[in-house]
Structure 1
Amino acid sequence: MEKQIGFRRNIYLNWLNATAAICAETSDLRELRTRLDPIVAEQIESQANRQVAITILLTIWVKTAERHHDLQHEAVTLFAQSRTASDRIWLHYGLSLLAYPFFRQGMVTIGQLLRHRDAIGTRDVAQRLVSTMGPLGGLQKATDRLIFSLRNWGLLVNTPAHATYAAQRLSTTTPAVEHWMLEAALAAHPAQDLPFADLVRLPELFPFHIALGIDDIRQTKRFEVQRQGMGWDMVRLAEVA
């Protein structure tokens, strides 16, 4: 059952940054594992557990290219060009949405809960995930690891209440990063198209402030926009030639 979860280790931000930086130099999995091992070893002593964590890192930053080549390739480029630590988090998060359906469902769940309250607890998230996904083995531990990772990335912050966390929203001054995130979110979404108003308010995008408007979307080749009845602008990913 845990294979359906996949994201089953605490994932540290410095690991993700190292993985992305090395990906700009090589895509060789053996070399990546060799170079990441001493970095991950700073937190994990067990070699077997290190390999699990490294597999997650490579699934996020390398193996996403198997189904989303252009998005992964651009993420590597944007990471190399990034001017702020915040922009890098957008990229790690977007690739995680693409890499792990469980990660995405966890983010959807957290985003939905935060629409009705100011903070969430791990138990709240786990209970909602059980109702959505069923009683998967290891679900509670996997939820703990999701929450830990988001806290480490700076996307959830402690509140005065015990084991309760509030969202920390990030902004970017780099439009290309926003465009990329919307494309990643739509590519990970089960629907082929969405109203623009729904796209920019997807619950899984709860940690991010999206400033793009529909005119920005129309001006990019990433998306196709179709005006429908009731004034809805439906957005879908542009077909790759």
Structure 2
Amino acid sequence: MRKRIGISRNINLGWLNKAAELYISGKDEKEIIDALDEYLSLEIKSPTNLKKTRGILMNIWGRDVEGRERIKKIAIELLKTGKNENILLGHWCLMLVAYPVFTDICSIIGKMDRQRFHITNRDIKNKMFDLWGERSTLYHSIDKNIKTLKDIGVLDTLPKNRYGINRYNIENKKGIILIAYTLTYIKEKLYISTMELNNSPEFFPFEYNITIDILEDSNIFSIDRFGGELVVSR
């Protein structure tokens, strides 16, 4: 089955914060849609582009999806800390679970960064075409995802068509729990090793340390030993 592309418009941190604010305030889905339309219309004049942008924000924040309740709950707690790195992480995790294309792009960038390769638009696109197949909608979506990563403060443009990465240190224990929980969700495995949790390319801009003590204290995860290594499941 062909995967859906999903993200067709770039989004910025201000829009994500507004969508989160409306959801946290307790508004229902229609109220959030109406409020987002009014808010976005100040910056987006095209009705088609406004509708697409609002739809993306609704998929990330505005709608509840079965199985993602805990992720959103912890994300809200992080946003309420008021710290930039925690706010970004909360949005990031909800974007990962909402849009597989965003997850794959982040994974590709993270692997390139880990291997110390230059991060370029061309190389990201080539690797995404290998995963998804070469189609025009994907080509357009990759550009919008990269623009989003720039707009939310993760990527910077460097000379020679390369990108640099801004790093964010996560010390909040709930943030660390959210990273672990999100990874167990998107990986769709029965279990995941602690080494994989701490070296996930999907979380390339974040610096963090997931420890067994933090996971055990959360009362969310099961910790076992398999094949000589510690593994985590939820």
Question: Do they superpose with TM above 0.5?
Answer: yes
Deviations 1:58-116 (A, max 9, x none): 1011335333122223322332x223122110011100111011111111111112122
Q: Distance in 1 between matches of 2:204 and 2:3?
A: 26
Q: Following superposition of structure 1 onto structure 2, how do residues 74-113 of structure 1 map, counting pairs within 5 Å? A: 74-79=74-79, 81-113=80-112
Q: Secondary structure at the match of 1:120?
A: coil
Query: 1:8, 1:142 within 8 Å by CA — same for their partners in 2?
Result: yes
Query: 2:223, 2:232 within 8 Å by CA — same for their partners in 1?
Result: yes
Q: Distance in 2 between matches of 1:150 and 1:23?
A: 23
Query: 1:27, 1:62 within 8 Å by CA — same for their partners in 2?
Result: no
Q: CA deviation at 1:149?
A: 0.5
Q: Following superposition of structure 1 onto structure 2, how do residues 193-204 of structure 1 map, counting pairs within 5 Å? A: 193-204=191-202
Q: Secondary structure at the match of 1:4?
A: coil
Match in the other structure for 2:36 = 36
Query: 1:65, 1:72 within 8 Å by CA — same for their partners in 2?
Result: no
Cα distance change on mapping 1:107 and 1:90 into 2, 3 Å: same
Amino acid at match of 2:123: D
Amino acid at match of 1:174: N
Amino acid at match of 1:47: P
TM-score by length of 2: 0.93
Amino acid at match of 1:20: A
Match in the other structure for 1:190 = 188
Match in the other structure for 1:146 = 145
Q: Distance in 1 between matches of 2:30 and 2:140?
A: 29
Q: Secondary structure at the match of 1:157?
A: strand
Match in the other structure for 1:10 = 10
Query: 1:24, 1:77 within 8 Å by CA — same for their partners in 2?
Result: no
Cα distance change on mapping 1:229 and 1:189 into 2, 3 Å: closer
Q: Secondary structure at the match of 1:93?
A: helix
User: Quick check: 101-110 or 56-65, which moved more?
Assistant: 56-65
Structure 1: any 5+ residue segments left out of the alignment? Answer: none
Whether 2:154 is the aligned partner of 1:155: answer yes
Match in the other structure for 1:210 = 208
Q: Secondary structure at the match of 1:9?
A: coil
Whether 2:68 is the aligned partner of 1:71: answer no
RMSD: 1.9
Query: 1:155, 1:167 within 8 Å by CA — same for their partners in 2?
Result: yes
Query: 2:109, 2:124 within 8 Å by CA — same for their partners in 1?
Result: yes
Q: CA deviation at 1:122?
A: 1.4
Amino acid at match of 2:134: P
TM-score by length of 1: 0.90
Q: Distance in 2 between matches of 1:229 and 1:73?
A: 33
Task: Report the number of matched residues.
Answer: 234
User: Quick check: 11-20 or 67-76, which moved more?
Assistant: 67-76
Runs of 4 or more consecutive aligned structure 1 residues displaced over 3 Å after TM superposition = none
Deviations 1:177-231 (A, max 9, x none): 121122112211132211100111111111111123222222221211102332x
